[in-house]
């Protein structure tokens, strides 16, 4: 990877960070093939683990669970069929083995319904089981299959997942809309047909002998004189049939309702339709979708007009003197938002590969139109292959810019997420597709060809964990303000700059080591073999105290010179921990990633700079007021200075004075603690470690678990506390590095 000079410089912590982090000219991709980010090491054999994928796209109405996790389905089955005890344990073991087999089939690319994959997985398991356990296995799986009440397409996390999932949910939403439309139109057609039927029965044609004979059927055709009946009815009929103009108007409305192409034919008019093919509403470009909408606009106008006229006719409220002129002028400008909402939305599925400025402009114009157009913008690669020598390291630029620009429109629903988070955010996906206006779904699939033998699910999850592709939603219908509309809650540990996790490993002396490490942008980049030149493996004998995790570098001081060498932890094929130094280009990109995430945090109401500035101002005013009050109290309490009376013998100490000696300083405690009642809720400590530090019901900090972090984190929290109420105590782990320095730094807070 990096050259010999770089490796040699790692021995000397005094060299400048620019020299230490100089990337190599050679980009040897093979060096990274055997390495994985340390935080992902436990997920190497993903098919054997239980997680959200594969998903089952089940059929049903929009109020039900139309997207389900295989693991959730299996858990539900086991609750029904696996009793407590040995028998239940046998069933659980067998059904969980079937789940693993189905997951492995899905990861290998086997497509089909859950019932099909169930049968394949069951056959595979039975084929690998000997005669002794085969009967018990078959019995367990048959029990589970009997209570399995749902079916649906099984999809794994790959490059096709975003479109498959979105189309399924869109189809369910639109089917629900079509059902409501058909019910309404069927009712209208039936009512208008009854009006015409009654009118026909009053006509001359209805009283002809042939018509009367046909109406009674063959069983009674010889029992009546239909000629005489015709003359009798004709003589007694009332001349109150429908006016010709009204009959023509109703006939025209029925023709329009029965020939519409926006929804499949209704039950009432299926046999009368012309057989014209219904419109399609799924497209691959904004240009084609907008052109189709414009072309169909006259049909929309005629259909809305027909429905409005029909409902007036059914209520007998149509007045030609008032309504004829109104409907003569009825055009596209007469359509209301609720009229447009009657029709299917348009779904556009597109990828950002080669996404140029013109297409981006067209997309923003589409989202600005207010039309019910839903856009899936899928990204398969968010690390753009730009030369590091240019001083820039771009990531997710196209997709993130479009998503944040769409938020600025204030009228479009926006959801950004990686494929790994689509299942947890499925309710937000439904809301976006139900939203009457435009919606953008910006999704990173994780199906990057240059990922180093890492499944797309883990790549997608790493993108969200590292803040390279954070998840957020903007829902204009959720409320009147940004606090109710914008949310970043779907991100892991959204309060922190980088998520923090415990890494447990064994050192060369076989001692168990536990560290809290952050998952950063550089950890995500390490999944991509194209950027192997951004890292240099540090030999174990060159590890020293100035080799620090990347997250330990200051976020803001990008130009500050330091003797610290940032690294990220990696794991090789033998599960041995490796440390990889990070070069300057990637460090700069990580800082920019953190800055963008910081902006999203503020939009989401986390660590708002405006709120913190106001809090600091209020705190300063409060402190000034307290100082004035204390000074006034001291001034009033000062006793008059009198000369001592040498003739007066000192009085003997009373029992009270013996029991209450002069105030002495409280002895410092060895345990860490926080003066919770004085907490100002500044979030400084919880940002350092939200498992060690937590808030009580009054939103004031306390130490929830002193063993959930390091002594260094306790000291850093004490140093950053604005009101100096955190007391680190003494170190709990005598083996923690640099304790002498940390104890000295903790002394002022004892």
In a domain, 678, yes or no: yes
Domain boundary among 137, 156, 175: 156
Is 626 or 109 the better-scoring residue by pLDDT?
109
pLDDT classification of 32: cutoffs 50, 70, 90: low
385 and 504 assigned to the same domain: no
Lowest-pLDDT range, 436-450, 520-534, 605-619, 726-740? 605-619
69, pLDDT greater than 90: yes
441 and 572 assigned to the same domain: no
pLDDT classification of 638: cutoffs 50, 70, 90: low
pLDDT classification of 545: cutoffs 50, 70, 90: confident
pLDDT of residue 390: 45
pLDDT classification of 226: cutoffs 50, 70, 90: very low
In a domain, 64, yes or no: yes
Strands in 408-564 per DSSP E: 413-418, 439-444, 472-474, 486-487, 500-506, 512-518, 535-538, 547-549
Domain boundary among 571, 589, 607: 589
63 and 139 assigned to the same domain: yes
Backbone dihedral angles phi then psi of residue 152, each to the nearest 5 degrees: 165, 170
CATH number for position 401: 3.40.50.970
482 and 547 assigned to the same domain: no
Q: What is the mean pLDDT of residues 458-465?
A: 94
How far is it, in rounded angstroms, from Cα 566 to Cα 689? 20
Q: What is the mean pLDDT of residues 477-501?
A: 92
Q: What is the pLDDT of residues 160-173, one digit of tens each?
A: 999 999 999 999 99
Lowest-pLDDT range, 191-200, 485-494, 649-658? 649-658
Q: What is the mean pLDDT of residues 556-580?
A: 77
501 and 519 assigned to the same domain: yes
Instruction: Give the range of the structural domain holding residue 152, as residue numbers without chain letter.
Output: 54-156
In a domain, 145, yes or no: yes
Contacts of 430 (CB under 8 A, 6+ apart): 62, 169, 173
20 and 143 assigned to the same domain: no
113 and 22 assigned to the same domain: no
In a domain, 380, yes or no: yes
CA angle 532, 538, 542 (to 5 degrees): 170
In a domain, 206, yes or no: no
361 and 463 assigned to the same domain: yes
Q: What is the dihedral of CA 440, 441, 447, 452, to 10 degrees?
A: 100
How far is it, in rounded angstroms, from Cα 672 to Cα 702? 10
35 and 72 assigned to the same domain: no
In a domain, 614, yes or no: no
CATH number for position 718: 3.30.70.20
In a domain, 641, yes or no: no
Contact 107, 156 (CB under 8 A): yes
Q: What is the mean pLDDT of residues 404-411?
A: 91
pTM for this structure?
A: 0.76
396 and 513 assigned to the same domain: no
365 and 461 assigned to the same domain: yes
340, pLDDT greater than 90: yes
Count: domains in the chain: 4
How far is it, in rounded angstroms, from Cα 669 to Cα 349? 62
For the four alpha carbons of 155, 158, 160 and 164, in that order, the dihedral sign comes to positive
How far is it, in rounded angstroms, from Cα 22 to Cα 373? 48
In a domain, 654, yes or no: no
Domain boundary among 532, 561, 589: 589
CB atoms within 10 A of CB 216: 13
Nearest to 688 by CA among 712, 724, 723, 722: 712
154 DSSP β-pair partners: 56
365 and 482 assigned to the same domain: yes
pLDDT of residue 742: 87
Percent of the chain with pLDDT over 70: 81
pLDDT of residue 656: 40
């Amino acid at each position: 990877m990096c050259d010999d000079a770089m490796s040699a410089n790692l021995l000397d912590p005094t060299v400048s960070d620019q020299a230490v982090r100089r990337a190599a000219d050679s980009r040897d991709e093979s060096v990274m093939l055997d390495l994985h980010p340390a935080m992902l090491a436990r997920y190497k054999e993903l098919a054997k683990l239980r997680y959200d994928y594969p998903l089952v796209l089940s059929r049903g109405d929009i109020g039900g669970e139309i997207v389900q996790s295989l693991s959730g389905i299996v858990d539900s089955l086991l609750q029904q069929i696996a009793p407590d005890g040995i028998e239940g344990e046998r069933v659980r073991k067998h059904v969980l083995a079937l789940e693993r087999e189905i997951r492995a089939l899905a990861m290998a690319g086997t497509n089909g319904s859950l019932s099909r994959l169930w049968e394949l997985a069951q056959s595979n398991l039975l084929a690998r089981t000997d005669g002794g356990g085969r009967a018990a296995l078959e019995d367990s799986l048959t029990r589970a299959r009997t209570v399995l009440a749902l079916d649906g397409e099984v999809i794994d996390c790959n490059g096709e997942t975003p479109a498959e999932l979105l189309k399924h949910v869109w189809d369910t939403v639109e089917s629900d809309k079509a059902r409501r439309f058909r019910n309404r139109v069927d009712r209208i057609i039936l009512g208008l047909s009854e009006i015409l039927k009654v009118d026909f029965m009053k006509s001359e044609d209805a009283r002809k002998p042939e018509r009367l004979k046909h109406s009674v059927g063959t069983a009674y055709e010889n029992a009546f004189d239909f000629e005489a009946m015709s003359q009798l009815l004709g003589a007694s009929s009332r001349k109150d049939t429908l006016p010709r103009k009204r009959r023509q108007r109703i006939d025209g409305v029925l023709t329009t309702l029965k020939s519409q192409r926006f929804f499949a034919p209704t039950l009432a008019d299926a046999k009368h339709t012309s057989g014209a093919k219904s419109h399609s509403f799924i497209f691959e470009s904004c240009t084609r979708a907008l052109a189709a909408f414009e072309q169909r606009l006259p049909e929309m106008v005629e259909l809305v007009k027909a429905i409005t006229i029909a409902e007036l006719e059914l209520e007998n409220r149509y007045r030609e003197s008032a309504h004829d002129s109104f409907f003569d002028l009825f055009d596209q400008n007469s359509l209301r938002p609720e009229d447009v909402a009657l029709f299917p939305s348009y779904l556009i599925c597109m990828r950002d590969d080669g996404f140029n400025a013109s297409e981006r402009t067209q997309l923003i114009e589409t989202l600005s139109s207010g039309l019910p157009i839903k856009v899936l913008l899928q990204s398969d690669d968010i690390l753009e292959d730009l030369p590091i020598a240019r001083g820039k390291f771009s990531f997710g630029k196209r997709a993130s810019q479009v998503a944040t620009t769409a938020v600025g429109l204030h009228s479009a629903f926006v959801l950004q997420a990686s494929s790994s988070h689509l299942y947890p955010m499925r309710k937000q996906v439904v809301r976006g597709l139900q939203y009457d206006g435009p919606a953008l779904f910006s999704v990173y699939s994780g199906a990057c060809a240059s990922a180093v033998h890492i499944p797309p699910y883990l790549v997608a999850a790493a993108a969200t964990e590292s803040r390279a592709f954070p998840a957020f939603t903007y829902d204009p219908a959720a409320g009147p303000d940004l606090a109710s509309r914008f949310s970043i809650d779907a991100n892991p540990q959204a309060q922190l700059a980088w998520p923090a996790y415990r890494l447990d490993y064994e050192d060369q002396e076989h001692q168990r080591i536990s560290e809290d490490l952050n998952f950063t942008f550089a950890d995500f980049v390490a999944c991509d073999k194209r950027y192997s030149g951004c890292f240099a493996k540090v030999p174990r004998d060159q590890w020293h105290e100035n080799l620090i995790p990347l997250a330990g570098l200051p976020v803001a001081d990008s130009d500050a010179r330091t003797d610290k060498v940032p690294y990220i932890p990696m794991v090789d094929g033998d599960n041995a921990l490796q440390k990889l130094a990070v070069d300057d280009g990637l460090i700069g990109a990580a800082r920019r990633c953190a800055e963008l995430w910081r902006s999203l945090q503020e939009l989401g109401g986390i660590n708002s700079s405006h709120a913190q500035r106001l809090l600091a101002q209020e705190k300063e005013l409060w402190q000034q007021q307290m100082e004035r009050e204390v000074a006034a109290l001291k001034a009033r309490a000062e006793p008059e200075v009198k000369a001592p009376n040498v003739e007066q013998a000192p009085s003997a100490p009373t029992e009270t004075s013996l029991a209450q000696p002069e105030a002495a300083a409280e002895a410092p405690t060895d345990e860490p603690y926080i003066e919770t009642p004085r907490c100002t809720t500044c979030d400084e400590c919880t940002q350092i470690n939200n498992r060690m530090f937590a808030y009580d019901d009054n939103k004031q900090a306390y130490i929830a678990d002193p063993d959930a972090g390091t002594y260094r984190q306790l000291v850093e929290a004490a140093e950053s506390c604005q009101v100096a109420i955190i007391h680190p105590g003494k170190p709990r782990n005598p083996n923690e590095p640099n304790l002498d320095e940390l104890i000295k730094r903790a002394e002022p807070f004892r």
